[in-house]
């Protein structure tokens, strides 16, 4: 059955038929605590009644009309995102890569239309992940993902994260902007320090560059603030987000200031599906939940609970776990043992997670995860560590016949 699908994914042999909150149920009746959330995407949990209700009601009215017409749901969503961020306007699309393509184009266009057509290059960071389209792959810069896909898109320079001297050295007459994930997800949950973010803001102001943040993974409440840039007390010039924005419905967004947005005149950019009534109804329902009084405080409380528990596990099992990283509910557990072994042991105990680079186990529960779910996850991780210990002991040469 699976053979008709292209072999470009390495899939676990699990098939789910339904979900409820932070739990997923397989077709053969097993249940798993979902600490991956479809890679930070099922942000308000599975079968969330408010989200499902909004999607159902909107689908019964009208799903798609195109951007040839006004879309009141999109106008409302944009207005709410603007009211709760640095931005003056929003552009809606369908994925993280598409949002980043938009961000790259907008940075270049705003430079070109304000007298600097030579400014086309963007400074990116080692370990970044910006998506799988040709331009966002070049912005990502990872040779493994570029292999076999021909020439790179020109215009991306890579420097180490949290290294201001390297950033300053990379700035030239053709530099248009800087593009950074405030928390790198894919490469192992590396956090850009608030000080580094503030220094990037300052260097952008000094040289007339645009600061773009890729919050595809770390935005929309994931870190315990609506956007991760808020932790550093700076504002970017442009921001991309996607994954959790519509709770599992495909959607992306670019938020930016009037300085950039005014150059995106009619016809300059577009997308057929972007900002449809259905997608925006879903995202508005997610925002209802995220912006409810006390919700983000709750995310921070769950993060503190998990952080404390994980630190304790690192102390108890130093042969299995090395250290904890991350921000809010974007948690990285750097492993001593092979991360694939740890992930598998967790699956045996009933918990789903995602791996990241640098031998890191990535945990991204739904933002609606309960205190009891988190306690459950910590005991599953505890038992998984014991399982890994037993496995490693059994594999030692003296124990192998
Ligand atoms: C997932 C991700 C992307 C790409 O998003 P898609 O929706 O898969 O295109 C871009 N940037 C970051 C930081 C991501 O985590």
How would residue 1 be classed by pLDDT, with cut points 50, 70 and 90? low
Cβ atoms of 32 and 23 closer than 8 Å: yes
Nearest to 104 by CA among 134, 74, 80: 134
Distance of alpha carbon 365 from alpha carbon 222, whole angstroms: 9
* Residue 45 CB burial class (10 angstroms; 0-12, 13-18, ≥19): buried
pTM more than 0.95: yes
Which one of 184, 243, 250 would you pick to mutate in the ligand 1 pocket, going by the greatest count of ligand atoms within 8 A of its CB? 243
| Any atom of ligand 1 within 6 Å of the Cβ of 373 | no
pLDDT tens-place string over residues 131-190: 999 999 999 999 999 999 999 999 999 999 999 999 999 999 999 999 999 999 999 999
- Output the residue whose Cα is nearest ligand 1's atom 10: 130
Mean pLDDT, rounded, of the chain: 97
Alpha helices in 208-322 (DSSP H): 258-261, 277-290, 295-316
Could you tell me if the CB of 97 is within 6 A of ligand 1? yes
Residue range 49-290 in CATH 3.30.360.10: no
Per-residue pLDDT tens digits for 100-110: 999 999 999 99
| Six token digits for residue 27 | 């077709």
Token pair recorded at residue 152 = 């790179």
pLDDT score of 299: 98
Q: pLDDT digit string (tens) for 33-66?
A: 999 999 999 999 999 999 999 999 999 999 999 9
The count of C-alpha atoms lying within 13 angstroms of the C-alpha of 106, restricted to the half-sphere facing its C-beta, is 32
Domain ranges within the chain, ordered by starting residue: 49-290
Give pLDDT tens digits for 197-231. 999 999 999 999 999 999 999 999 999 999 999 99
Contact 348, 242 (CB under 8 A): no
What is the DSSP annotation of 28-62?
TS-EEEESSHHHHT-TT-BT-HHHHHHHHHHHHH-
Q: Is 97 annotated as a binding residue?
A: yes
Confidence band of 78 (pLDDT split at 50, 70, 90): very high
How far apart are the CA of 185 and the centre of ligand 1, in A?
Answer: 9
Contact 96, 181 (CB under 8 A): no
Distance between Cα 251 and ligand 1 center (Å): 11
Rounded distance between C-alpha atoms, residue 394 and residue 123, angstroms: 48
Ligand 1: residue whose CA is nearest its atom 15: 217
Of 93, 131, 191, best ligand 1 pocket probe by most atoms within 8 Å of the beta carbon: 131
As to burial, measured by CB atoms within 10 angstroms (0-12 exposed, 13-18 middle, 19+ buried), residue 214 is buried
Residue 248 CA, ligand 1 centroid: distance in Å: 13
């Amino acid at each position: 059955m699976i053979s008709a699908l292209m072999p470009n994914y390495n899939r676990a042999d699990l098939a789910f038929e339904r979900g409820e909150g932070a739990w997923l149920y397989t077709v053969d009746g097993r249940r798993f605590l979902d600490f991956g959330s479809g890679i930070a995407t099922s942000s308000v949990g599975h079968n969330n009644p408010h989200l499902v209700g909004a999607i159902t009601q909107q689908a019964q009215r009208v799903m798609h009309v195109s951007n040839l017409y006004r879309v009141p749901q999109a106008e409302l969503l944009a207005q709410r995102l603007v009211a709760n961020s640095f931005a003056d306007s929003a552009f809606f699309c369908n994925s993280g890569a598409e949002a980043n393509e938009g961000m790259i184009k907008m940075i270049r266009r705003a430079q070109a239309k304000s007298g600097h057509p030579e400014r086309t290059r963007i400074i990116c960071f080692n370990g970044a992940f910006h998506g799988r389209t040709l331009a966002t792959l070049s912005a990502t810069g990872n040779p493994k993902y570029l292999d076999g896909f021909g020439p790179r898109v020109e215009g991306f320079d890579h420097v180490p994260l949290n290294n201001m001297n390297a950033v300053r050295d990379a700035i030239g007459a053709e530099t248009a902007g800087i593009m950074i994930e405030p928390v790198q997800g894919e490469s192992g949950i590396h956090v850009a320090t608030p000080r580094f973010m503030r220094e990037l803001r300052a260097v952008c102001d000094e040289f007339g560059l645009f600061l773009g943040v890729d919050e595809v993974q770390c935005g929309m409440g994931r870190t315990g603030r609506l956007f991760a840039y808020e932790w550093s007390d700076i504002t970017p010039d442009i921001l991309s987000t996607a994954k959790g924005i519509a709770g599992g419905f495909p959607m992306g967004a670019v938020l930016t200031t009037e300085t950039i947005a005014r150059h995106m005149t009619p016809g300059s950019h577009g997308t057929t599906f972007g900002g449809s009534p259905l997608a925006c109804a879903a995202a508005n329902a997610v925002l209802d939940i995220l912006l409810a009084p006390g919700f983000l405080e709750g995310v921070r409380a769950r993060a503190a609970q998990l952080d404390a528990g994980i630190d304790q596990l690192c102390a108890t099992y130093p042969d299995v776990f090395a250290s904890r990283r991350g921000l809010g509910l974007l948690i990285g557990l750097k492993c001593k043992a092979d991360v694939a072994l740890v992930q598998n042991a967790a699956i045996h105990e009933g918990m789903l997670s995602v791996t990241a680079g640098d031998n890191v186990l990535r945990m991204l529960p739904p933002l609606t995860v309960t205190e009891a779910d988190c306690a459950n996850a910590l005991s599953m991780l505890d038992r998984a560590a014991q399982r890994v210990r037993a496995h490693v002991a059994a594999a030692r040469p003296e124990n192998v016949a």
